[in-house]
Structure 1
Amino acid sequence: MPTNTRQAPSPPHRPFQRRYKKRKAVERAISRLKNSRAVATRHEKCRYVFLGTVSVVVLVIWLRS
């Protein structure tokens, strides 16, 4: 009679690893945008003003990394 009844963990599925890796990158990028006060506190009526603010913040994040 075996004393260890726990099963070994199954290996992760290969096709989904790439998807989750990309998902993590997107989630981290959105998190960085939310941390920016310029984007987090914006309540613009005009869509182009908000998109301009997001574009500037994304550019700053990109230049810092």
Structure 2
Amino acid sequence: SIPERVDQISGRLRRGESLCRLDREVYRRRNVVERCFNRLKQNKALATRYDKRARHYKALVTLACLRLWLPN
């Protein structure tokens, strides 16, 4: 990441803001979505999109989601 200038950091501290601008709740929700996509992409046919028709691809996405959510 790009380092911040010293005057920006000191200005934020003077205003009472924290050094970390990360919103933890947003990060947690984003992380869940990213992990879900990573798990879905483990399905090779889904990751490379072998199907030409949209409805077939949508059906494959649905099946992959069901495989994630249903117990083994």
After TM superposition, the score normalised by the length of structure 1 is 0.67
Q: CA RMSD in A?
A: 2.3
After TM superposition, the score normalised by the length of structure 2 is 0.62
2:60 is equivalent to residue 47 of structure 1: no
Alignment of 1:1-65 (within 5 A): 12=20, 16-64=23-71
The one-letter code matched in structure 2 to 1:40 is A
Q: Provide structure 2 residue ranges, at least 5 long, that are not aligned to the other structure.
A: 1-17
Following TM superposition, by how much is the alpha carbon of 1:13 offset from its aligned partner in structure 2, in angstroms?
5.4
Following TM superposition, by how much is the alpha carbon of 1:17 offset from its aligned partner in structure 2, in angstroms?
1.1
Structure 1 runs of 4+ aligned residues shifted over 6 Å read: none
Larger RCO (alpha carbons 8 Å, 6+ apart): 1
Determine the C-alpha separation between the residues in 1 that align with 2:42 and 2:20: 32
Q: Provide structure 1 residue ranges, at least 5 long, that are not aligned to the other structure.
A: 1-9
Cα distance change of structure 1 residues 63 and 52 upon mapping to structure 2, 3 Å threshold: same
Aligned length: 55
